[in-house]
Amino acid sequence: MILAPVAEESLFRGFLQNYLRPLGDKGFTLLRRRISLPVLISALAFSLAHLILVVSGVGVLFMVRILVFTFVLGLFAGYYQEKYNNHIFAILVHMAGNMMGLISAII
């Protein structure tokens, strides 16, 4: 359970977002927070990676909710990764998101 967030964050924030860092001057402001293009692209890639759930036979509405949730989670993780330049914040955001998903599945 702990290895998945570390591996995913290493790929999407550690590799992809840092690779796209030269594009960091492009982006937009959302709720007085600057969202750079690398954060946006890594969040989108993170969300699309969860399309693998389609093969498990989940419904369309569930899949849409997962894609939206993971995109927003990716925005938060990417924002904190970029703001503090520390991978642990992105991992903690990811783990908190997984915990919220687990709790909502139980309830």
Q: What does the alpha-carbon distance between residue 10 and residue 1 come to, in Å, rounded to a whole number?
A: 15
Per-domain residue ranges of the chain: 3-19+35-106
Question: Considering the entire predicted model, what is its pTM?
Answer: 0.88
pLDDT at residue 101 greater than cutoff 80: yes
Average of per-residue pLDDT across 92-106: 88
Three-class secondary structure of residue 35 per DSSP: strand
What tens digit of pLDDT does each residue of 63-76 get?
999 999 999 999 99
pLDDT at residue 21 greater than cutoff 90: yes
Half-sphere exposure at residue 93, Cβ-oriented, CA atoms within 13 angstroms: 23
pLDDT at residue 1 greater than cutoff 80: no
- Nearest Cα residue to 87 out of 99, 75, 74, 77: 77
pLDDT at residue 78 greater than cutoff 80: yes
Q: Which amino acid is at 38?
A: P
pLDDT at residue 83 greater than cutoff 70: yes
